[in-house]
Amino acid sequence: MWGWLRRLGRSARAHRGIPDALWQTTLGNYPFLAACSPAELQRLRELSALFLAEKEFHGAQGLAITDAMAVAIAAQACLPVLHFGPGRQPLDWYDDFVGIVVHPDEVLAQREVMDEDGVVHHYDEVLAGEAMQGGPVMLSWQDVAAASSESGYNVVIHEFVHKLDLRDGQPDGCPPLGAGFLGAASARQAREHWLTTLQASFEDFHEQVIKAERFGAPPPWLDPYGAEAIDEFFAVTSEAYFVNRPQFARDFTALVPLFDAFYRPGA
């Protein structure tokens, strides 16, 4: 099941780094990673090795996790935090969990919700991934392998962006921001600016989805799941930002400076 990862201890993995052949295979399988600059690729490779040294992968339903699978997930998980500081500092954003559970395919989860009248409703939800506050990340390997720049789809980035969103305890589409973000005088002002900007784009996207579903208008480029809630919109648009920036910039012009300031601080 495990080759390179199993033979080495955690500290050795981080010290020795990811073998070249394994890294090149990863870049070949996920071209949007290879589109990074040489300096970014070197940093991504180093950060991915640190990630692998700190996290534990578990295959569900008999799935055997290979080195290639683990490195692919690590590289994509590290992409959103690539510019968040030196050394292992970016991984502080992911320090609320250790486990990553990988299923062969989508998972059927049983849910229950209470309505305003106190009535509890039970339903099933099909999941390609899930990120729980203070808990592990769940991924469907079939969906990890189906990452696509053309469609802007990437379940790994999606779930790890949810982890960024949850850092302040609220799945509200706004990660923790500090004073100075885009010139904001305070963290509160930065948050207000972020949510106002994101909300406007979310409402436009939501309207596009409704027109497509109800009136036969052309569907939007991105997964309509982003219209479910603003936190899902943040995750879905972040997928597109990383895997197909040109298309993202055309469709979500107002979000480009917002996401650049967050994902590439100081760039």
pLDDT in tens, 117-169: 555 545 556 678 899 889 999 999 999 999 999 999 999 999 999 999 999 99
Mean pLDDT over residues 17-31, rounded?
A: 95
| Structural tokens at position 104 | 């062969």
Give the global pTM: 0.90
**What would the mean pLDDT of 45-62 be, rounded to a whole number?**
96
CA distance 16 to 201: 44
Q: Give the span between the Cα atoms of 178 and 176, in whole angstroms.
A: 7
How far apart CA 212 and CA 191 sit, in angstroms, is 31
Q: What angle do CA 84, 50, 248 make, to 5 degrees?
A: 45
Q: List the structure tokens of 170.
A: 């609220």
Hey, which bits of 115-209 come out as E strands? 120-127, 129-131, 137-140
- Which residue from 134, 3, 121 is spatially nearest to 70, judged by alpha carbons? 3
> DSSP letters along 215-242, please?
H-PPPPSS-GGGGS-HHHHHHHHHHHHH
Here the tokens at position 194 are: 């972020």
For the chain, give every residue range classified as CATH 1.10.472.150. Answer: 1-171
Instruction: Give me the pLDDT at residue 119, please.
Output: 55
The position carrying tokens 């039970």 is: 122
Rounded Cα distance, 97 and 163, in Å: 10
pLDDT tens digit sequence for 198-253: 999 999 999 999 999 999 999 999 999 999 999 999 999 999 999 999 999 999 99
Give Cβ neighbours of residue 119 (< 8 Å, ≥ 6 apart). Answer: none
Q: Is beta strand 99-103 parallel, antiparallel or unpaired with respect to 56-59?
A: parallel
Angstrom distances, CA of residue 180 to CA of 80, 83, 144, 157, 166: 20, 17, 35, 26, 21
Which run of H or E residues covers position 111? strand 107-114
The per-residue pLDDT for range 239-257, each reduced to its tens digit, is 999 999 999 999 999 999 9
Report the CATH number of the 1-171 domain. 1.10.472.150
Average pLDDT over residues 48-72: 96
Going edge to edge, which strands form the sheet with 99-103? 56-59, 99-103, 137-140, 129-131
Contact between 63 and 27 under an 8 Å Cβ cutoff? The reply is no
Strand partners, 113: 121
